[in-house]
Amino acid sequence: MRISEKLLLAVLINLCLVATSIHGSASNTGRQPYIVYMGEVLEHGLVPEEQHRSLLTEIIEDESIARESILHSYKRSFNGFVAMLLPHEANRLMEREEVVSVFPNTKLKLHTTRSWDFLGMPLTVNRSYKIEREIIVGLLDTGVYPESPSFDDKGYGPPPSKWKGKCEVGVNFTGCNKKLIGARSYSIGHKTPHQSPADTDGHGTHTASTIVGSAVNNASLYGIGGGTARGGVSSARLAMYKVCWDNGCWDSDILAAFDDAISDGVDVLSISLGGVIRDFYNDSLSIGSFHAMKKGILTVCSAGNEGPYLLTVSNLAPWVLTVGATGIDRQFRAEVRLGNGMKTSGLAINTYSPTKQMYPLTSGIKAANYSGPDAYPDTCDWGSLGEKHVKGKIVYCAPGGIYQDYTIKVLGGAGTIIAGSDFNDTAFTFVLPTSYVDPKVGNLIDKYINTTKNPQAIVHKSKEVKVSAPFVASFSSRGPNYLSPRILKPDITAPGVDILAAFTMLESITGEPHDNRFSLFNIISGTSMSCPHAAAAAAYVKSFHPHWSPAAIKSALMTTATAMKVKTPDAEFAYGSGQINPVRALNPGLVYDLRASSYIRLLCREGYNDTKLRLLTGWNHLDCRKFQPARGYDGINYPTMTLQLHHPTKNYSAVFKRTVKNVGTKNSVYKAIVKSPKGLSVSVFPSTLAFNRVYQRKSFKVELKGEPLISNGTGLISASLEWKDSTHRVRSPIVVYKVLPYQVAG
């Protein structure tokens, strides 16, 4: 686990989870920031701040404490506030009728260019330029580096007239331009070194340029991954909301960013963050994205980097597009040569070119300093090696270590060969010449060191090699969905392995203080990188279909997705509907549309309280009982169908009800094509849908009948329904699985 923690850390880049002190005066002793969420904005009556103050004075007797406790009021796009509360005060607020939820302010974490070509979107792809230029993509991230050539505004007109956002100036941030039209930063309920939207991490610059970056020729990381770097909607505009700092990304700031972004006029939101799985009412990303959806804005989120373990996927709300990570067809490998002529290679983004023919080679165990702390020298643990054995040498480290590159760099080593099997699909950047080799290869290198008088080696700069793709990255979080087992998550996948995109010059490429490499482009991995690819695809679809709902855009992306070339046993739990295919998504033929009321129906079915749902929706007459009996098994017109079995040893059956809308040709006839494995029968009624006008809707039923699931684990079985006419294929995966012993029953 040790190395995977380290490598995961590299995936999450620079996240450094140090708690900071909380605002507070003497009267605030013991108080902590809580989010008090109150649903839809008030239509009339009280000014929100007054409502918040008067509510709090009923709970906290001392009026001056009550007044001082409020840190921020949300009021533009939804209603609520952040306040310093004691636990019993939070509980009392939770009982109030006008309050939906109260939860402690929690910290979330941050979870080319070849990738767009690989996705079938060459530089010359058809574009709806006129509309694309009016599209504003909002990001909640670590800020942005405005000097990056990816955000050059040459040739851009003024911001779209609908734009109501702002551009803050601050430390290392002189302002916006006609491409980067908005930038704000937030720090509510915690301290930050300064207030500025400048990107001191690199993550936000990277994700933003993946979506909207202008084409930059000859971009590379020290010559690696070279080519034209660009975003998927390279003429769209960018609005950055900085919510992540060195100490993480707080709920209070995330909600403030949503409150602004929705009212500022963004068209699509891309959010590469996540954290603990919480109920929708207690989760800032679910709350914010719900209000965004109501205003026609699709929120795209990363699935998380906790794979390949099951039940790890986060950002589970059905109104969010949740994106897992795939690898593209190129891999970065660093070649290793030994003094005996042996030649091999390992995954790594090694920017260093050797300056000698050969270097002396040793191993951690041979370079041990046993008078140091009692650690594991074989894996090159911190403190376990002797400087004089390491200086000037390449050091081989056995599998299982952590921070080996850092340890060896500090001791003056010339490089390292690290053996390990935690990652075989993702290349990471190290602080000195490094190759990450397979343990079997490592063993040969170790043997060579043990049996040779003056062992020697060299680690070369990384080169690209072609690999089979797409495949799901091992780190990409897997389903099933912990909160709503009837909704498949992740929804979709997009490239997230070793992605080249713009970077900040305010941080080194590894984020390590001992690294003096700074670059306008960097290669990094994570579902954080896949999320902006899907967000760009959503913006691309929107530029051709500006009036489509968030659910229609989501459906178009999901039903046209590409199948994986390399299969994984977790199948749909790893890749959802498949990998985005932006060009196909422009013309899906049919869409599974959804309105806000459909999501409310689902929440009703999942037992959410009517009183609270009324606040959430602003619909005073909402009555969950009216939605009974439910429409089919899952009660929602989702583009995937998922059945969870509680009694897998019995035969089962279920009916899914769906409605599709014709967005293709006026007169079209679609036939149902079903694929299902032995033991599961799938029937569709009717099995032909004939349309005679655009936007016409047709409903159908999908009936599953199956035999017991006997295989171990989730028992996952994959089937599919495809509606096919002469030009379109509208595909929905159908998944049946059994409840895991440790999974909450749904």
Ligand X SMILES: *[C@@H]1O[C@H](CO)[C@@H](O)[C@H](O)[C@H]1NC(C)=O
Catalytic residues: 141, 203, 528
CA-wise closest residue to 307 among 570, 484, 15: 570
Give the interface segment with ligand X, choosing from 248-256, 401-409, 441-449, 536-544 (CB under 6 A): 441-449
Residue among 17 and 171 whose Cβ is closer to ligand X: 171
Q: Cα–Cα distance between 66 and 529 in angstroms, integer? A: 42
Is residue 733 classed as helix, strand or coil in its secondary structure? strand
The least CB distance from residue 363 to ligand X, in Å, is: 7
Beta bridge partners of 685: 701
Residue nearest to ligand X (CB): 386
Tell me the backbone φ, ψ of residue 515, rounded to 5 degrees: -100, 125
The least CB distance from residue 217 to ligand X, in Å, is: 7
Give the interface segment with ligand X, choosing from 206-214, 247-255, 446-454, 598-606 (CB under 6 A): 446-454
Which x/- pattern over 118-157 shows residues binding ligand X (rule: CB under 6 A)?
--------x-------------------------------
Under the criterion CB under 6 A, does residue 450 sit at the interface with ligand X? yes
Under the criterion CB under 6 A, does residue 365 sit at the interface with ligand X? yes
Q: How many residues bind ligand X, per CB under 6 A?
A: 34
Please spell the DSSP secondary structure of 343-376, one letter per residue: EEEEE-B--PPPSSS-EEEEETTTTB-TTS-S--
171-177, long-range: CB < 8 A, 24+ apart: 171/196, 171/198, 172/196, 172/198, 172/200, 172/506, 173/143, 173/146, 173/197, 173/198, 174/146, 175/146, 176/146, 177/146, 177/151, 177/152, 177/153
Task: Pick out residues in 173-232 that bind ligand X (CB under 6 A).
Answer: 218, 220, 223
Q: Please pick, from the candidates 177, 195, 263, 443, the single residue that binds ligand X as defined by CB under 6 A.
A: 443
Give the interface segment with ligand X, choosing from 275-283, 296-304, 554-562, 726-734 (CB under 6 A): 275-283
The least CB distance from residue 568 to ligand X, in Å, is: 7
User: Contact at 8 Å (CB) between 41 and 76?
Assistant: yes
Q: Please pick, from the candidates 77, 106, 128, 172, the single residue that binds ligand X as defined by CB under 6 A.
A: 172
Beta bridge partners of 70: 83
**Residue 196 to residues 185, 229, 254: CA-CA distances in angstroms?**
6, 26, 16
Please count the helices (runs of H) and the strands (runs of E) in the chain. Answer: 18, 37
Under the criterion CB under 6 A, does residue 379 sit at the interface with ligand X? no
CA 633 vs. chain centroid, Å, equals 29
Residue among 162 and 388 whose Cβ is closer to ligand X: 388
CA angle (144 as vertex; 139, 145 as ends), nearest 5: 155
Q: Cα–Cα distance between 406 and 721 in angstroms, integer? A: 51
Residue among 64 and 218 whose Cβ is closer to ligand X: 218
Residue among 36 and 136 whose Cβ is closer to ligand X: 36
Residue among 609 and 688 whose Cβ is closer to ligand X: 609
Q: Cα–Cα distance between 101 and 96 in angstroms, integer? A: 9
Which x/- pattern over 277-316 shows residues binding ligand X (rule: CB under 6 A)?
--x-xx----------------------------------
Residue among 460 and 658 whose Cβ is closer to ligand X: 460
Q: Please pick, from the candidates 260, 329, 425, 515, the single residue that binds ligand X as defined by CB under 6 A.
A: 425
Q: Please pick, from the candidates 192, 228, 369, 718, the single residue that binds ligand X as defined by CB under 6 A.
A: 369
Q: Please pick, from the candidates 27, 353, 452, 651, the single residue that binds ligand X as defined by CB under 6 A.
A: 651
Q: Cα–Cα distance between 575 and 367 in angstroms, integer? A: 44
**CA diameter of the chain:** 86
State the number of CA atoms in the 13 A half-sphere of 527 facing the CB: 39
The least CB distance from residue 261 to ligand X, in Å, is: 24
The least CB distance from residue 52 to ligand X, in Å, is: 18
Query: What is the bridge-based pairing of β-strands 268-271 and 244-245?
Result: unpaired
Q: Cα–Cα distance between 305 and 103 in angstroms, integer? A: 25
The least CB distance from residue 450 to ligand X, in Å, is: 4
CA-wise closest residue to 425 among 576, 308, 575, 519: 308
The least CB distance from residue 712 to ligand X, in Å, is: 4
- Written as one letter, the residue type at 153 is D
User: Contact at 8 Å (CB) between 456 and 395?
Assistant: no
Under the criterion CB under 6 A, does residue 452 sit at the interface with ligand X? no
Is residue 185 classed as helix, strand or coil in its secondary structure? strand
Residue among 25 and 651 whose Cβ is closer to ligand X: 651
Task: Pick out residues in 698-727 that bind ligand X (CB under 6 A).
Answer: 707, 712
Query: What is the bridge-based pairing of β-strands 359-363 and 394-397?
Result: parallel
Q: Please pick, from the candidates 95, 357, 620, 745, the single residue that binds ligand X as defined by CB under 6 A.
A: 95
Residue entry with tokens 């509606």: 723
Helix axes 284-294, 550-559, angle to 10 degrees: 100
The least CB distance from residue 612 to ligand X, in Å, is: 6
What does DSSP assign to residue 576?
T
Residue among 447 and 671 whose Cβ is closer to ligand X: 447
Q: Please pick, from the candidates 506, 643, 663, 739, the single residue that binds ligand X as defined by CB under 6 A.
A: 506
Residue among 358 and 583 whose Cβ is closer to ligand X: 583
Give the interface segment with ligand X, choosing from 94-102, 203-211, 313-321, 531-539 (CB under 6 A): 94-102
Residue among 163 and 518 whose Cβ is closer to ligand X: 518
Give the interface segment with ligand X, choosing from 93-101, 289-297, 691-699, 734-742 (CB under 6 A): 93-101
Give all strands (DSSP E) within 549-613, no chain letters: 590-591
Q: Please pick, from the candidates 422, 446, 491, 507, the single residue that binds ligand X as defined by CB under 6 A.
A: 446
Give the interface segment with ligand X, choosing from 1-9, 256-264, 442-450, 654-662 (CB under 6 A): 442-450
Give the interface segment with ligand X, choosing from 36-44, 365-373, 455-463, 722-730 (CB under 6 A): 365-373
The least CB distance from residue 635 to ligand X, in Å, is: 18
Residue among 104 and 546 whose Cβ is closer to ligand X: 104
- Written as one letter, the residue type at 146 is P
Query: What is the bridge-based pairing of β-strands 492-495 and 320-327?
Result: parallel
Under the criterion CB under 6 A, does residue 653 sit at the interface with ligand X? no
Tokens coding 182:
């908005």
Q: Please pick, from the candidates 27, 54, 340, 609, the single residue that binds ligand X as defined by CB under 6 A.
A: 609
Which residues lie near ligand X (CB under 6 A)? 95, 97, 101, 103-104, 126, 171-172, 218, 220, 223, 279, 281-282, 365, 369, 371-372, 386-388, 424-425, 443, 446-447, 450, 505-506, 609, 611, 651, 707, 712
